[in-house]
Structures are given as structure tokens and as C-alpha cells.
Amino acid sequence: MPLNPDDVLILKTPFGTLIQDKKITKGKIKGFLKNAKKVISVGDSTTDRLISFGILPDLSVIDGKERRSTRSSISNLHLQKELRCSNSAGTISREAVSLLQDALKSHFPVRVIVDGEEDMLALPIFNMAPDCSVVLYGQPLEGIVIVKITPKTRKKAKDLMDRIGID
């Protein structure tokens, strides 16, 4: 089912605080992560940037692409568990949601490698991540969006997933 224009606009609007690329610093990012229950990154570039700042996400979700072009792999210098799932572009697969749910329960860093596209997977993460977690994802050609997980964030994500037919 194609998305209606209102939902497309909601998906393109940052879900949290947008930090413009030129204003992203290690200190600014670390400030948003203070007291975070979990740090979650969605996207290859966002994950790379966090790792370059010495921040190892508890969960990172990548697909090996940036703006649909293949990119070099993310640093493997840190030890973490890798899981794999499939998720077609513009969708949220049940397989991916189930895997993310399990990954969020882990007590050590997990990298989820998506065969397909990871962009839409931020939505179920917003819905499933524990309160006080922080999700970071890229806003194409703009910067990084930082989302603090609260009951309000969770409801907004759940309502949007319900409207676009994702359970």
C-alpha cells in the first residue's frame, strides 16, 4: 500500500533533534548521550561517525550503503555480535522487527546487518527501545537526528506504524 503524502512528510521530518553536519562534534554528541540507557545508531554513516568519536553503540543497524550506493565497511576494530536480517526498501519486515527486539535485550554491543535497506527500521526501534535510550540516525544531506526515547516518542512511532499498516 503506497504511503499517503502526510505520512511521507512525517517520515521525512526529523523525529528528534537535528544537528547539522557542520555542527556535529564529539562533545555535542556525548552531551546528548549522558545517562542513556542504550545508545542505538541506524545507518552506516551515523554508526561510523559515532565509532570515530569513540562511542560504541549498544545496537547499530546498517546495510552497507549510503544514499543507496555501496560504501566501504564500518570499522571492525571493536568486538560485537553480528546478526543479519532482510528488509526491503521502504518497508519494515517482521523478520527485522523480531531480530531488533532480540538485539535490544542484549547486554553487549550488537550490529545488525540488513540485506536490503535499514532506513525505516528506526520506527520500530523508537517503539521498542527502553525509555531513556537514545537513537541516532542520519538525515540525508543535513546531519544527524538524535531521538530520546520516551512514552511520547514511542506513541508517535506506534501511531505512525499503525497508520502505514505495519504491526
Using one digit for the tens of pLDDT, what is the confidence trace for 51-109?
999 999 999 999 887 655 555 555 554 556 899 999 998 889 999 999 999 999 999 99
Rounded to two decimals, the pTM is: 0.90
* pLDDT, mean of residues 27-31: 97
Q: How many domains does the chain have?
A: 1
- How far apart CA 22 and CA 143 sit, in angstroms, is 8
DSSP string, 28-82: HHHHHHTT-S-EEEESHHHHHHHHHTT---SEEEE-SEETTEE-PPPP--S--EE
The answer to whether position 128 is within a domain reads yes
- How far apart CA 77 and CA 70 sit, in angstroms, is 20
CA 33 to chain centre: 15
Write down the mean pLDDT value for the chain: 88
The answer to whether position 7 is within a domain reads no
Domain of residue 131: give its range: 14-163
The answer to whether position 5 is within a domain reads no
The answer to whether position 54 is within a domain reads yes
- How far apart CA 51 and CA 49 sit, in angstroms, is 5
The answer to whether position 149 is within a domain reads yes
Q: Residue 1: what pLDDT?
A: 47
The answer to whether position 9 is within a domain reads no
pLDDT in tens, 6-19: 766 777 888 999 99
